[in-house]
Structure 1
Amino acid sequence: MGKKVAIIGAGASGLLACKYTLSKGFQPIVFESASTIGGVWTKTIETTKLQTPREVYQFSDFPWPSSVTEDFPNQHQVLDYIKSYAHHFDLLKHIKFNTEVCGIEYEGSSEDEMQARSLWGGSGEPFSSKGKWKFVVEDKQSLSTEIYVVDFVILCIGRFSDVPNIPEFPSNKGPEVFDGEVIHSMDYAAMDYDSARRFVRGKQVTVVGFQKSALDIAMECSNTNGLEHPCRVLYKTEHWNVPDYLPWGVPLACLYLNRFSELLVHKPGEGILLSLLATILSPLRWAFSKFVESYITKKLGLAKYGMVPKHSFLQEISSCLISTVPEKFYDRVQEGSIILKKSPSSFSFCQEGILVEGESSPVKTDLVILATGYRGDKKLKDIFVSPTFQDYIAGSPNATLPLYRPLQGMNNPCRRVDG
C-alpha cells in the first residue's frame, strides 16, 4: 500500500495536491470543512473576478473550456472550472466534506529532538521512519471526532479566509460603543447577492481598507446607493492597484512573472553568484518598477486624487499585495458616490460613527465594513498542537512576504504559492 498523505483544504491547491499524490502512487485523504470544493471561490462578492489573466490561472493538464473567452473570468466561471477539474480526474472520492481538522501532532520524536533537527524530517527525506502525523478531525454535522494517522501532511488552507483580521481598539472605543453595525468583509461575502444589496441599501456605509475586497465592496455600495448615500473608504496607505496587466502595452508577466524576473530578486539562502547577479541587475529592477508606476499613475489619474503611493511598485508586488481596480472606480470617486478618506494613524468608534485620530468631528455612518484582511498566520499556527511546529510553520511577522518552513522542521524557509 502507498503512503498516506493528508491534505487540508479542497480549493484549487488542495485538488492539485490530491491529483499529484495520486500520480505518485500515494493515498491522499483530503479534509474539507465546507460541503463543497472550491475554497475562496465558493463565497465571494458579486463583482469578484479573477485578478490574473485566464492563461496564468490554469491547470497545466486541463485547459479552460472554449466557452470561457473573458481574460478575467467571474466567480461562477472560475468555480465551474475548478469543479470540472475535480470531476475530470475523479478526485471527489478522496475528499471528506464537512470535516474540520482540530489538531495535528507528530508522534515518534520528542520536542527536544525535533528542535535540534537541521534537515527535513530529521533525515532530509519526506517520509520519516521515526514517526507519523496524528490528526484529530471533527465531523461538523454529527459533531463526532475521529483520529487519522498519516505519513505526510500538505496544508492547502489558504491565507484569505476563515480567520478575519479585526483591528484592536482601546476600552470603550471599539464597535461596542457604536450605534450602527460593524461586520467584516468575510460576512459580507457570505451573503447571497440580493441579500448583500438589501443590506447596504439606503445606508451610509464606511469601508475600512484599500485592497481588493474594500474596492469591490465600495463599488457595489456605490452601485446600490449612488450619490444619495456615498460610500466612504477609510484607508491608511495608498496602494499600486493596477487597472490592467498591460502597462504601456507590455504584459506585466514579461516584467515580473517569468524566470528572468526571479534573477532580479534577492532570495533566502541564495549563493554568492545569485546574490551578485541580483545586485548587478538592481537598476533594471528599479526601471521596471518606475515603468509600471508611471502607467498606473497616468491611467488612473492618481495624482489628482492624492493617491500616488510613497512606496515602489516593486515593494507592492514582492509583498503579494497587487490587486486590480474595479472598472470606473475613480470615475465614481470623481462624481462623489465614493469618498476617499485617509486615516494616517489609528481610528476608533464613537456613538455616531468613526473617530479619526487628530480630528474632532466623527465620520458619521450607519454601517462599517472592515475589509482588513485575514490572519492566515494564526490559522496556520493554531492547527498544530506542538509549540515547536507552531514556531516552525510561521516566519517572521516583519517579513515582506510571510514565509513558513515545510513540516518536520526543515531549517530553510520555503515560499508558499496558493493556486
Structure 2
Amino acid sequence: MTRRVKEWAVSHPVQYVVHELNHKKQDYITTPPNICATCAYRGKHSVMVERIAIIGAGISGLLACKYTLSKGLTPIVFESQDEVGGVWTKTIRTTKLQTPKSLYQFSDFPWPPSLVQNFPTQNQVLEYIQSYAHHHGLHCHIKLNTRVISLSYDGPPEGEMQTWTLWGGTGKPFGPKGKWKVTVQDTGSLYTEVHLVDFVMMCAGKYSDFPNIPEFPQGKGPEVFEGKVIHSMEYSAMDNASAAKLVQGKKVAVIGFQKSGMDISMECTSANGLLQASSNHVLCYTGQNTGICLILPWGVPLAYLYQNRFSELLVHKPGQGILLSLLATFLSPLVMNLTTLFT
C-alpha cells in the first residue's frame, strides 16, 4: 500500500492515529482521515510524495501551503482556531490595517476593486485573507481546531545531526534517515493524532496564544496594583459590549505603544468620549519617538521604504556576498535615521 494507516486505542479519552506516507510512485488505495481524496491522489502523475506539516493558517501558513503545492509537495496545515486568518481572527472591533493596502496584499491576489478604503477594517482584511485561501483551494489541506501539542524528530542521534552543515546531512530538505513526529489534538473532542512528515514549517507567527508579559522584580509587578490588570490578548478576546463596559468611566493606563496599544487607546476614547478620555486615559511607552507620523515631507509613506523587496537589502543574511553585506551595513543606519527624523 502506498499509505499505511495504523490505528490503535489507548486509555480513554485519548486515541492515536499515525499517518505515514510511503515514498513510492504508486496510486493511493485509501485516503486517511481528514485528507481530501482529490488532493491525496497523485498516482497518475507518477510523482514522489513528500509530506510537509505547516503549523498555523495565518498569512504565512497560507502562503507556505500554496507554495509547497506549486512544487508538487503534499502539505497539511494545522490551525488551532476555527477559521483561517491568524492574528486577524482575534483583533478588536476598531482595528484597521495600519499600512496602505497596496503594500499589504498577496502578489498574485490583489484587493478587490470595490474596496476603495486605503486602510481596510479588520473584517475586510480577514475576508480578503480567507478569499485567498478559497481562490487557491487551500482549505482541503487545512485541519482547523487542531492544536499541535508536541513536535519531535525521529531519526539519527543528535550528535550526528550536529555535524550536518545543511538539511538532512545531504544538502536537501528531505533527509532519508528520519521523519518528524507531529502530535496534534482536536480542541473540541481532545482526540489526538500523530502525523509522520518529512519537513515542518513553523508559521505560528509572533502573535501566538501566549501573552508576552515582562518579568518584574519582586513586589514591583502587577500584583501590587489594586485595580484590574489584563493583557491585550485578553481584551481582544472580549465581545464589543464587554470591552466597552470594562473601560467605560474608568482611569485606564495602556502600557506599550505598538499596534494593539494604539487600538486599545482608541477604544478607550470611543467608550468614554474624547473629553473624559483625555483626563482618564494615559498611554505609556519607553521610546523617544511616537512613530505616528509615517509620511515623509514630500508625501511618500515610510512604509514604501520598509515593505517591499528593496527592504531585504537592509538585513544581513547567512552566506551573502561582500556587496550585499556592504549594502546592509550602509543602508540600515540611513533608514533608522529617516525613521527617527520623521516620527
Does TM, normalized by the shorter one, top 0.5?
Answer: yes
Aligned residue in 1 for 2:292? 242
Note the alpha carbon deviations across 1:338-381, whole angstroms, 9 max, x for none: xxxxxxxxxxxxxxxxxxxxxxxxxxxxxxxxxxxxxxxxxxxx
Aligned residue in 1 for 2:161? 114
Aligned ranges 1:249-268 → 2 under 5 Å: 249-263=299-313, 266-268=316-318
For residues 108 and 52 of structure 1, the distance between their equivalents in structure 2, rounded to whole angstroms, comes to 44
Q: What is the Cα deviation at residue 238 of structure 1?
A: 3.1
Among candidates 223, 232, 242, match of residue 195 of structure 1: 242
Change (3 A) 1:77 1:111: same
**Aligned 8 A contact 2:295 2:342 in 1:** no
Aligned residue for 1:241, secondary structure, equals: coil
Aligned residue in 1 for 2:325? 275
**Aligned 8 A contact 1:161 1:186 in 2:** no
**Aligned 8 A contact 2:55 2:77 in 1:** yes
TM value normalised by structure 1: 0.65
Q: What is the Cα deviation at residue 122 of structure 1?
A: 1.4
Change (3 A) 1:264 1:12: closer
**Aligned 8 A contact 1:263 1:278 in 2:** yes
Q: Which moved more, 1:247-256 or 1:27-36?
A: 247-256
Note the alpha carbon deviations across 1:148-168, whole angstroms, 9 max, x for none: 101111111010231111122
Query: Which AA in structure 2 matches 1:60?
Result: S
Q: What is the Cα deviation at residue 253 of structure 1?
A: 4.8
Q: What is the Cα deviation at residue 265 of structure 1?
A: 5.3
Aligned residue in 1 for 2:101? 54
**Aligned 8 A contact 2:235 2:243 in 1:** yes
Q: What is the Cα deviation at residue 35 of structure 1?
A: 0.9
Q: What is the Cα deviation at residue 4 of structure 1?
A: 1.0
For residues 182 and 254 of structure 1, the distance between their equivalents in structure 2, rounded to whole angstroms, comes to 37
Give RMSD over aligned pairs.
2.3
Q: What is the Cα deviation at residue 257 of structure 1?
A: 4.0
Aligned ranges 1:342-357 → 2 under 5 Å: none
Query: Which AA in structure 2 matches 1:52?
Result: T
* 4+ aligned runs moved over 6 Å, structure 1: none
**Aligned 8 A contact 1:53 1:71 in 2:** yes
Q: Sequence identity of aligned pairs in percent? A: 60
Aligned residue in 2 for 1:129? 176
Note the alpha carbon deviations across 1:275-297, whole angstroms, 9 max, x for none: 34555xx3x7655554454433x
* 1:10 and 2:51 matched: no
Query: Which AA in structure 1 matches 2:133?
Result: A
Q: What is the Cα deviation at residue 121 of structure 1?
A: 2.0
Aligned residue for 2:342, secondary structure, equals: helix
Change (3 A) 1:52 1:105: same
Aligned residue in 1 for 2:265? 218
Q: What is the Cα deviation at residue 65 of structure 1?
A: 1.0
Q: What is the Cα deviation at residue 8 of structure 1?
A: 0.7
Aligned residue for 2:229, secondary structure, equals: strand
Task: List gaps (5 residues or longer) in structure 1.
Answer: 297-419
Higher relative contact order (CA 8 A, sep 6+): 1
Task: List gaps (5 residues or longer) in structure 2.
Answer: 1-41, 43-48
Aligned residue for 2:165, secondary structure, equals: coil
Q: What is the Cα deviation at residue 272 of structure 1?
A: 2.6
Aligned ranges 1:332-351 → 2 under 5 Å: none
For residues 341 and 221 of structure 2, the distance between their equivalents in structure 1, rounded to whole angstroms, comes to 40
Q: Which moved more, 1:94-103 or 1:219-228?
A: 219-228
Q: What is the Cα deviation at residue 237 of structure 1?
A: 2.5
TM value normalised by structure 2: 0.78
